[in-house]
Amino acid sequence: MKRSRINVQRRGFLKAGSLAVASLAMGSRAGISLAQAKKPHLDESDPQAEKLGYKHDATKVDKKKSPTYKPGETCGNCQLFQGKPDKDEWAPCPIFPGKQVNVKGWCSSYTKKISS
């Protein structure tokens, strides 16, 4: 009797696990993670953003205030950008925890992405 009870519990666990894996796979194909969906966009007036000279549009960076900026540098080609530059308009950045930055944005923490 014990053996059949264990098998029933195991089958239930395997069924639930299979459904969970299938759901995760389907969710990841939707193109945006749940973590990304819940994070708000970084506001340029955020104290941390102001301190690092963050702009949603890198072409609007004040070159006098941010002398390290070079044309062509954007969050999308920064090593810290945690999205896919060709697909994600907004994505998380560890410099601004809990917020998303614009793929066309820039801040003074910019680090050129190393090609592999």
Q: Residues 77-106: pLDDT tens digits? A: 999 999 999 999 999 999 999 999 999 999
- Cβ-based neighbour number of residue 78 at 10 Å: 22
Neighbours of 21 (CB within 10 A): 10
CATH number for the domain whose boundaries are 33-116: 4.10.490.10
- Could you report the per-residue pLDDT of 20-75, keeping only the tens digit for each? 555 555 555 555 554 455 799 999 999 999 999 999 999 999 999 999 999 999 99
User: Do the Cβ atoms of 67 and 74 come closer than 8 Å?
Assistant: no
pLDDT of residue 115: 76
- Read off the pTM: 0.67
